[in-house]
Amino acid sequence: MGKEMTKISDPIRINRTTVKNRLTMAPTVKFDYAEDDGKVTPKHIEHYRERAEHQCGMICVEATAVTPEGRFCKTHLGLWEDGQIEGHRTLVEECHKFGTVMLIQLNHTGITANPECGPAIGPSAVPTRDENVLAKEMSLDEIHSMQEAYVAAAVRAKKAGYDGIQLHGCHSYLINQFIALKTNHRTDEYGGSAENRARFACEIIRAIRQQCGDDFIISIRTPGVEPTVAMAIEIAEEYVKAGCDYLQVSTGIEWDDPTLVEDGSPYNLICAMGVRFHEHFKGRVPVSCVNSIFEPDLARYLVENDLVDTVDLGRAILADPAFCEAVLQGAPFVKCFDCPRCQYGPFTPHKCPALLKRS
C-alpha cells in the first residue's frame, strides 16, 4: 500500500506541539500599529485575533525588535524590555482561544539599521543603506551582547505565552548578514566556514533551548539560496544540529537562482526553495514555503503532493483574514491583487481589497 496522501487540514507536530492544519501566517509587519514604546496595541490584537478565528493553524507574529536600535522604524513592535510582555500576553491569549499555535519573529536590522533608531552594525564593515557609509564591524563583546538580546526577547516571548519563536534569518537582516558571504568577511570564529557563519544564530538557538525548555518551538526563517541551494542547506543543517525545530524558507541576500524552477511550474522560485529544502529535510525537520500562494488550489497542491509540510501565507491572509477557510472549506474569498508594493503596508495611498471591503 502506498503512503496515504497528506491533506491540508491534517494536523502536524512541530517539536511537541500539534498544529491543527498545514496553514501558517507568515510574519508581516504592521509599520503603523505600534508607538515609539514598541508595545502591542489593540489594533495588533484584533489583526491577529481575526486571522486565528478564521482557522489559521499557526501565526508567526511580525518581525519584533530585540533592541530599540534594531527596529525598522520608530513604530515597530518590540520585546526588548519586560514592560512589553503584557500586551503580547493578551494577544497570545486571544489567539489561543481558537487553538492557533503562536510564534513570534525576533529580529535586528544590523547593517540595514534605520539611522533614526540606531547605528548600523554587523559582522563586517560593508556598505549600509547609504552606500557611502560603512557599518561598524561588531566586536566579540558586541556579538555576545547581541546574542543575549535575542535570548532575552525569547524568554519574554515565553513569559507572554508564545508557543515558540522564529529567528529572522532572511531578507538581509542581522542573522542573514552573518551567513552571507557578501556581508560577512570575518576571519574569527564567526566567519569563513558554514559552521562559523552559522555560529551567531546557533549559539542563540542553544541558549534559547536551555532557557525556554525542550518543548518551546524554535523556528528559523532561513534563505533557500545563499548564494547556492547547497550552501544554504549546509547552513540550515547547522541550525538543525543546534536544536532548531522548524525551517521556514524565504529569500536571503544572494538568492536569484532561476534554475530552481521549471517552466510551467505552478509555484514560483521562492516557493521552489522551500520545496528543495523539504526534499532534503523530509522526515527529519518540518519545512514551510512561502510566496505568492494566492489560490487555495496552490496551497492544497503543495501539501497534497508532499512538496512541503506547511504553507506560509503572507499577502493572501492580509487581503482576506478568512483565506484559510477558502483553502480548508472552499469558502469564497477576497483575492490578493499582488500589487507591486504591498498596499497593506503604508507604501501607497491605495487600499488593499480587504481594507476596501470594510470601509
Ligand X SMILES: Cc1cc2nc3c(=O)[nH]c(=O)nc-3n(C[C@H](O)[C@H](O)[C@H](O)COP(=O)(O)O)c2cc1C
Binding interface with ligand X (CB under 6 A): 26-29, 62-63, 105, 168, 170-171, 221, 250, 290-293, 313-316, 342, 344-345
Q: Report how far apart the first and last C-alpha atoms of the chain are (Å, whole number).
A: 53
Q: Which is nearer to ligand X, 33 or 281 (CB)?
A: 33
Alpha helices in 100-139 (DSSP H): none
From the CB of 50, what's the least distance to ligand X, in Å? 16
Secondary structure (3-state) at 260: helix
SS3 of the chain: helix, strand, coil, percent, to 5: 40, 15, 45
Q: Which is nearer to ligand X, 176 or 196 (CB)?
A: 176
Q: Which is nearer to ligand X, 200 or 323 (CB)?
A: 323
From the CB of 308, what's the least distance to ligand X, in Å? 13
Q: Which is nearer to ligand X, 27 or 110 (CB)?
A: 27
From the CB of 179, what's the least distance to ligand X, in Å? 15
Q: Which is nearer to ligand X, 275 or 290 (CB)?
A: 290
Q: Which is nearer to ligand X, 103 or 196 (CB)?
A: 103
From the CB of 24, what's the least distance to ligand X, in Å? 10
- CA dist 70 → 63, 179, 262 (Å): 11, 18, 38
From the CB of 262, what's the least distance to ligand X, in Å? 20
The alpha carbon of 336 is separated from its chain's Cα centroid by a whole number of angstroms, namely 20
Say how many C-beta atoms besides its own lie within 10 A of residue 130's C-beta.
9
From the CB of 193, what's the least distance to ligand X, in Å? 26
Report the alpha-carbon distance of residue 344 to residue 144 in Å, rounded.
Answer: 36
Report the alpha-carbon distance of residue 194 to residue 200 in Å, rounded.
Answer: 11
From the CB of 332, what's the least distance to ligand X, in Å? 19
Q: Which is nearer to ligand X, 33 or 196 (CB)?
A: 33
Secondary structure (3-state) at 43: helix
Contact in structure between 38 and 48 (CB atoms under 8 Å)? no
Report the alpha-carbon distance of residue 299 to residue 267 in Å, rounded.
Answer: 10
Report the alpha-carbon distance of residue 264 to residue 97 in Å, rounded.
Answer: 41
How wide is the angle at C-alpha 63 spanned by C-alphas 17 and 39, nearest 5°? 100
Report the alpha-carbon distance of residue 271 to residue 275 in Å, rounded.
Answer: 6
Q: Which is nearer to ligand X, 242 or 319 (CB)?
A: 319
Residue showing the smallest CB distance to ligand X in the complex: 314
Report the alpha-carbon distance of residue 148 to residue 39 in Å, rounded.
Answer: 20
Q: Which residues contact 263 (CB under 8 A, 6 or more apart)?
A: none
From the CB of 343, what's the least distance to ligand X, in Å? 9
